[in-house]
Chains A and B, each alone.
Chain A
């Protein structure tokens, strides 16, 4: 008989269960605190007011409209490029040195810290293309940041489409592109959409790259076009958090509630789609 440590054997499952919930419980404690601090501050005025030097008058109108601009522009730029790149790598690329290089490179890009993308955006989009600290510069920067996530999600969804469906399409005389648009993409759209929503949710929560390209903390007007300067919710939160006056911290807590609400809703949709898509995936 192998020597057993009865105590370790017994203690592990409850200990592990505790660890599993530890992070979530701590997060819940944080959230309850945030709600206590910030919930009373959220009203129609807070959502529709411009920023102000007086904490009680300050609102998040420019911040959430900025976030909305960034979300839409980033989606418009990154989704077509990411999905196309994913299709290329899964359906077209043959095993060659350059394609292996692309593959390693994408894995690497996914691990590059977001602030580095900010420095790239500052020089290339901000200075070289002369976009400065506009919405367009921010959206390009965030698009590069989330491209690896979209590409990986696209590839995995396409990979799950059975070869028999493609073969049937080819047998009927369809070209490669016809097969992809008529058969491969409709079958994989659920998985791609899940990845896209998760990546957009990530983009909305990003602060550092936008600070790096020079997005402002104080913008007293609503952005009208992609060439306007902007601020976003996370930067507004960061700005309020660094103020010493307590009233601004309450504002920060209130803005965090709004940001988390958006993040959780997007993630919820993504999880729902993923489960639904997995269930439908029986051929």
Chain B
């Protein structure tokens, strides 16, 4: 075989591997859509979005996605209200205050938080955080969105801090010098000059953390409960979209039944939300990279 032919075959193989990623996306969309379309032959789309109960596994069946979405949003909001402030403070500190040496030591340490398997965090939330919080909030149920959300927040701190720090560090130092030249302090420079200049990069970090929190599965499956309900009360058991999928998969639901299809409808809803967020963050990222390049 001559060299040119061999090179071309290698090229085709490499190209095939890259195209596999496109096939993956097509596969995901096809699988979710085809099962969901069959689902919507039995259940009207209107009742899916307007019904306030989700009880496909009970005798009296309701197929309203709202309780699962509200459960997901509740845990996500709690997680972000922990991770965003703490993550941003860490990012500003590491980028503007800390020494290079401190930064190079602390960054891998923070990454450990994201490396711990989520099932372990779930155990923490159920076994330690909930009993601890019950000391202060006696009405807190054994399964609740509060501890699940708080623990998830700790987990996604590095997602916020790492990307935000990259964005803050990318701000040209001329901006800082100009600010100092006008007599501003380090604190003022950090918060009023550097932070606004990196706003789009920070937004990307927050959106990615948001998307990560929405898709998080094991923490909520273990610690948040299995009771879909439309509530904003963080003290009671709820169920998220991901938690529902796990609940059904752990049980014995026959293939082809409507219960089986509900996990794909739930999956499609989840995919739709996260896909939207990921795309927004991708285009924001392209935009802000152009600013300083």
A residues apposed to B, CB below 8 Å: 1-2, 4-5, 8-9, 12-13, 15-17, 19-20, 22-24, 26-27, 29-30, 33-34, 80-82, 84-85, 87-89, 92-93, 101-102, 104-109, 111-120, 122-124, 127, 144, 147-148, 151, 175-177, 198, 201-202, 204-208, 211-212, 214, 217, 234, 237-238, 241-242, 249, 252-253, 256, 259-260, 263-264, 267, 271
Q: 12 A-B residue contacts at CB 8 Å? A: A23-B86, A23-B158, A33-B127, A113-B270, A116-B28, A118-B245, A119-B245, A124-B27, A175-B7, A206-B117, A214-B249, A238-B221
Interchain nearest-CB distance for B62 vs A (Å): 22
Interface check B59, CB cutoff 8 A: no
Closest 5 CB pairs of A and B: A113-B215, A205-B117, A16-B93, A88-B14, A111-B278
State the CA gap A189–B32 with chains docked (Å).
Answer: 37
* B112 with A24: CB separation less than 8 A: yes
**CB-CB < 8 A to B25: which residues of A?**
105, 108-109
* B249 with A26: CB separation less than 8 A: no
Closest-by-CB residue of B relative to A113 is B215
Tell me which residues from 13 to 40 in chain B have a Cβ below 8 Å from any Cβ of chain A: 13-15, 17-22, 24-25, 27-28, 31-32, 35
State the CA gap A26–B147 with chains docked (Å).
Answer: 13
* A237 with B187: CB separation less than 8 A: no
* A22 with B18: CB separation less than 8 A: no
Main secondary structure of the interface of B (DSSP, over half): helix
**Category for how many chain B residues contact A:** 35 or more
Compute the total of residue contacts between A and B using a CB distance below 8 Å.
241
State the CA gap A8–B126 with chains docked (Å).
Answer: 37
Tell me which residues from 142 to 159 in chain B have a Cβ below 8 Å from any Cβ of chain A: 154, 157-158
**CB-CB < 8 A to B217: which residues of A?**
113-115, 207-208
Interface check B282, CB cutoff 8 A: yes
Tell me which residues from 113 to 151 in chain B have a Cβ below 8 Å from any Cβ of chain A: 113, 115-120, 122-124, 126-128
State the CA gap A263–B112 with chains docked (Å).
Answer: 9
Interface check B45, CB cutoff 8 A: no
State the CA gap A28–B93 with chains docked (Å).
Answer: 22
* A112 with B28: CB separation less than 8 A: yes
Interchain nearest-CB distance for B96 vs A (Å): 9
Interface check B238, CB cutoff 8 A: no
- Specify which of A92, A107, A253 is in contact with B278 (CB 8 Å cutoff): A107
- Given A102-B18, A112-B271, check contact A2 B116 (CB 8 Å): no
State the CA gap A179–B176 with chains docked (Å).
Answer: 43
**CB-CB < 8 A to B24: which residues of A?**
109, 120, 144, 147
B residues apposed to A, CB below 8 Å: 3, 6-7, 10-11, 13-15, 17-22, 24-25, 27-28, 31-32, 35, 86, 89-90, 92-94, 97, 106, 108-113, 115-120, 122-124, 126-128, 154, 157-158, 182-188, 208, 211-212, 214-218, 221-222, 242, 245-246, 249-250, 255, 263-264, 267, 270-271, 274-275, 277-279, 281-282
**CB-CB < 8 A to A107: which residues of B?**
278, 282
**CB-CB < 8 A to B117: which residues of A?**
204-207, 234, 259-260, 263
**CB-CB < 8 A to A108: which residues of B?**
25, 275, 278-279, 282
* A113 with B242: CB separation less than 8 A: yes
* B187 with A8: CB separation less than 8 A: yes
* B110 with A241: CB separation less than 8 A: no
* A263 with B277: CB separation less than 8 A: no
State the CA gap A119–B182 with chains docked (Å).
Answer: 57
**CB-CB < 8 A to B108: which residues of A?**
271
- Given A2-B183, A9-B185, check contact A17 B18 (CB 8 Å): no
* B184 with A2: CB separation less than 8 A: yes
* A176 with B7: CB separation less than 8 A: yes
- Specify which of B90, B115, B126, B274 is in contact with A241 (CB 8 Å cutoff): B126
State the CA gap A112–B127 with chains docked (Å).
Answer: 29
Q: Which of B17, B92, B246, B270 has the most CB atoms of chain A within a 10 A radius of its CB?
A: B17
Interchain nearest-CB distance for B253 vs A (Å): 10
- Specify which of B124, B184, B211, B249 is in contact with A118 (CB 8 Å cutoff): B249
**CB-CB < 8 A to B184: which residues of A?**
2
Interchain nearest-CB distance for B251 vs A (Å): 11
Interchain nearest-CB distance for B263 vs A (Å): 7
- Given A111-B208, A119-B245, A151-B21, check contact A15 B89 (CB 8 Å): yes
Interchain nearest-CB distance for B191 vs A (Å): 9
- Given A9-B187, A107-B282, A127-B255, check contact A84 B90 (CB 8 Å): no
Interchain nearest-CB distance for A55 vs B (Å): 15
* A85 with B282: CB separation less than 8 A: no
**CB-CB < 8 A to B109: which residues of A?**
24
- Given A85-B17, A256-B120, check contact A17 B245 (CB 8 Å): no
State the CA gap A175–B183 with chains docked (Å).
Answer: 58
Closest-by-CB residue of B relative to A10 is B187
